[in-house]
Structure 1
Amino acid sequence: MNAVADVDVEVVVIGAGQAGLSTAHHLSRGGLTPGHDLAVLDAAPAPGGAWQHRWPTLTYGRVHGIHALPGMELTGADPDRPSAEVLGEYFAAYERRFGLRVVRPVRVRRVREAGDGRLLVETDRGSWTSRALVNATGTWNRPFWPRVPGQETFTGRQLHTADYRGPEEFTDARVIVVGGGTSAVQHLLEVAGTARETTWVTRRPPLFREEPFDSDLGREAVAMVERRVRDGLPPQSVVSVTGLPMTEAMRRAREDGVLSRLPLFERVTETGVRWADGREVRADMILWATGFRPVTAHLAPLRLREPGGGIRLDGTRAVRDPRIHLVGYGPSASTIGANRAGRAAAREIRRLLAAGPDRNTARAAPAVAAG
């Protein structure tokens, strides 16, 4: 990995998943030249965003809700191939076709003021200065592990969705799957085929959706997340609004008792878990399918975080600093949402650049909490 000398550009995009590539595409169509006045930085070793890290048993045909990147459809993909391979190749072809010149692997350490209204992006491969920045880092690199008393005493194995590579490693084990989202159910159904026994635990009773996911339900889910982001609260899972889509495989699993859910246990013991009423379940492995949190720690020097714990947005723009846009955060944390947000962010950034440096430096008062 070669070092990169300090570079001065107009816009830096951090992240080359769906959100980052979408935004870079719209910025380049608006007149910015990748590698000259537009820099796209990606921490991953290869194209594909978070998809390249998905477990091999998640085939392309089992992925739902995928929308093509702007300007290039994904056609003819084999539904039986791993989604990591299909989408990794698609993202690579997209970068080549539009000449986005992604710099990778490069890890952004921090973003801070550079003076004269510019931002300084410090990385392990040098620094970039820019007039605007798009944070499209997603969540994959920040798995959420709930803290439960006794976790450190468990003598079995604990792993997160981010570590999951398929059901084979659970063969003949007693497994507890924790989480009420789609990934948790996918893991549970796979692991049930190889494990000795499985136990499903969720914080809240799961809501299964029998009816198709329509546009009204989609708008309701997005609106819920938008309200939280506008109020400066951390984004929240939309499963509580959309529910879990009931598939034929899930119906069979429910009939077989695999989807029989227990509430969250009170503590982890050396050999399993225990509830407040004294009930215990022994386990060899605990799989925490408990989601992810936005990767934003590198933005801490800019003091964007609100007292409520989130970054307040107006559209994609950080309210406390108009130079910063977050795409793939909150309501745009989906493939179709990232495409739309990327276009909106690019449009606002072009206006900001056209306004000149004097207006670019205007920003709100510092937040109370860093983040």
Structure 2
Amino acid sequence: MTDPPSLPDAPADDRLLDVVVIGAGQAGLSAAHHLLRSGLRAWDDVVVLDANDGPGGAWRHRWDSLTLGAAHGVHDLPGLPLGTPDPAEPASGVVARYYGAYEDAFALPVIRPVAVASVASADGGFAVTARDGRVWRTRAVVNATGTWDSPYVPHYPGIENFGGRQLHTHDYTAATDFAGRRVLVVGGGTSAAQFVLDLDRTGVETVWTTRGAPRWTDRSFDAEWGRAVEASVSARTVRGLSPHSVVAATGLPLTGMYPPAIASGLLVSRGPLLRFTPTGAVLAGPGPDGHGFPSQGAADRLIDDDVRARVRALPGHAVDDDGWEVPVDTVLWATGFRASLGHLSSLHLREPGGGIVMAADGVTMTRQPGLFLVGYGASASTLGATRAGRKAARAAARYVAEEDAVSA
């Protein structure tokens, strides 16, 4: 093994690497681990480029009130169990410490911070170019950039005239930042539900809006469920269709802290968001008279007349017979993320449907030999990412070996 670069900003050299892994989150670390186990050498054959200043991937950016116990799935990396940290500790700190220990334990060749600007075809392989101009030449790439850097905010009529504050999950730091405000939480996923509870604990009034009935489910989030979710997502990606949102694939668990919050009237969707006004939002329902109370899906059994009365007590007034205008000060877009793949744009991987055609293994790019994609589609969860990292590493190592055999 050769020594790593002596300085974080040491330039890449002209060597042709076997594999460059982009991203040091769950999928990237899993891939790097398995690449080294396959016999490839750290620093000589494999490097990992990470845009962050330290370990932890996207987890290092999560808000402090998201504790490990409330986090939706932190899974073991191969060869080093997470153990049993304090569930009350912020997940950001737990995961950053765990990932850092993992990098050290297996001497993973991580270079940071390196923000990758582009990946382009070059001399039968790839040129990976950082924003600061450094270039790594490699025969194969495992792309594990995830989604955190690509927050998604949908457009609604009137949003350009709304005079209050707007922010996305990506920029959320603490509930105390919203003292004295009424916050519209937009989105039907786990983050949206957790924001409603987090804000309420600090006395912040919330209004929750979802495009349809919340996707509550009584199903246990076990291994069988995980396989079913991955199969559902993979059925789209092998056809080149863009993946559905996470909640569309997983649902919301109707367990733990959620049922009491629903029964109290706190965690109840007020229906679809229709448009914005300068001082508020127009929702499909319900209004102060109770008209238009939306379905809560599988949680309808927890909704009684007392809950309905509490929900419709929110100030507001009818607008054009199609909704209720509710005054709000802030909009919190918990509307998810898209895959962070802008640096791959020169490879023209997108299909007309907006997705990328993936092979049956879920990681191999059918249109670009030597490029393997993890943290996309079925591997976007931490459980799926660990397995996908292993698959991508094995596929990349096999690809390199086959290239060697051809050139021998």
- Which amino acid is the alignment partner of residue 183 of structure 1? S
Alpha carbons of structure 1 residues 28 and 166: separation in structure 2 relative to 1, 3 Å = same
The answer for the alignment partner of 2:140 in structure 1 is 132
1:329 corresponds, among 332, 357, 376, to 376
User: Is the counterpart of residue 220 in structure 1 residue 228 in structure 2?
Assistant: yes
The answer for the alignment partner of 1:151 in structure 2 is 159
The CA distance in 1 between the partners of 2:153 and 2:10, in whole Å, is 34
The answer for the alignment partner of 2:66 in structure 1 is 58
The answer for the alignment partner of 1:279 in structure 2 is 324
The CA distance in 2 between the partners of 1:238 and 1:287, in whole Å, is 18
The CA distance in 1 between the partners of 2:74 and 2:84, in whole Å, is 14
The CA distance in 2 between the partners of 1:245 and 1:358, in whole Å, is 49
TM-score when normalising by structure 2: 0.84
Q: Which segments of 5 or more consecutive residues in structure 2 lack a partner in the other structure?
A: 1-7, 284-319
Q: Is the 8 A contact 1:175 1:195 kept in 2?
A: no
The CA distance in 1 between the partners of 2:348 and 2:221, in whole Å, is 38
The answer for the alignment partner of 1:365 in structure 2 is none
The answer for the alignment partner of 2:126 in structure 1 is 119
2:331 match: secondary structure: strand
Q: CA deviation at 1:359?
A: 6.3
Q: Which moved more, 1:348-357 or 1:137-146?
A: 348-357
Q: CA deviation at 1:241?
A: 4.2
1:199-348 to 2 correspondences below 5 Å: 199-275=207-283, 277-314=322-359, 315=361, 316-348=363-395
2:184 match: secondary structure: strand
1:356 match: secondary structure: helix
Aligned residues: 359
The CA distance in 1 between the partners of 2:394 and 2:202, in whole Å, is 50
Alpha carbons of structure 1 residues 138 and 51: separation in structure 2 relative to 1, 3 Å = same
Q: Identity of paired residues, percent?
A: 50
1:343 match: secondary structure: helix
Q: CA deviation at 1:216?
A: 3.5
The CA distance in 2 between the partners of 1:173 and 1:329, in whole Å, is 36
The CA distance in 2 between the partners of 1:311 and 1:357, in whole Å, is 28
The CA distance in 2 between the partners of 1:49 and 1:193, in whole Å, is 28
Runs of 4+ that moved beyond 4 A: 357-360
The CA distance in 1 between the partners of 2:204 and 2:70, in whole Å, is 25
Q: Is the 8 A contact 1:220 1:241 kept in 2?
A: no
Q: CA deviation at 1:243?
A: 2.0
The CA distance in 2 between the partners of 1:106 and 1:241, in whole Å, is 32
The CA distance in 1 between the partners of 2:139 and 2:56, in whole Å, is 27
- Which amino acid is the alignment partner of residue 46 of structure 2? L
2:13 corresponds, among 6, 13, 33, to 6
The CA distance in 2 between the partners of 1:195 and 1:176, in whole Å, is 14
- Which amino acid is the alignment partner of residue 220 of structure 2? P
User: Is the counterpart of residue 174 in structure 1 residue 219 in structure 2?
Assistant: no
Q: Is the 8 A contact 2:189 2:246 kept in 1?
A: no
Q: Which segments of 5 or more consecutive residues in structure 1 lack a partner in the other structure?
A: 361-371
The CA distance in 2 between the partners of 1:84 and 1:265, in whole Å, is 31
Q: Which moved more, 1:208-217 or 1:246-255?
A: 208-217
Q: CA deviation at 1:298?
A: 0.6
TM-score when normalising by structure 1: 0.92
Alpha carbons of structure 1 residues 193 and 76: separation in structure 2 relative to 1, 3 Å = closer
2:281 match: secondary structure: strand
- Which amino acid is the alignment partner of residue 256 of structure 1? S
1:261 match: secondary structure: coil
Q: CA deviation at 1:195?
A: 4.3
Greater C-alpha radius of gyration: 2
Alpha carbons of structure 1 residues 278 and 235: separation in structure 2 relative to 1, 3 Å = closer
The answer for the alignment partner of 2:88 in structure 1 is 80
1:10 match: secondary structure: strand
- Which amino acid is the alignment partner of residue 125 of structure 2? R
Q: CA deviation at 1:210?
A: 2.6
Q: CA deviation at 1:307?
A: 1.3
- Which amino acid is the alignment partner of residue 57 of structure 2? G
The CA distance in 2 between the partners of 1:328 and 1:119, in whole Å, is 20
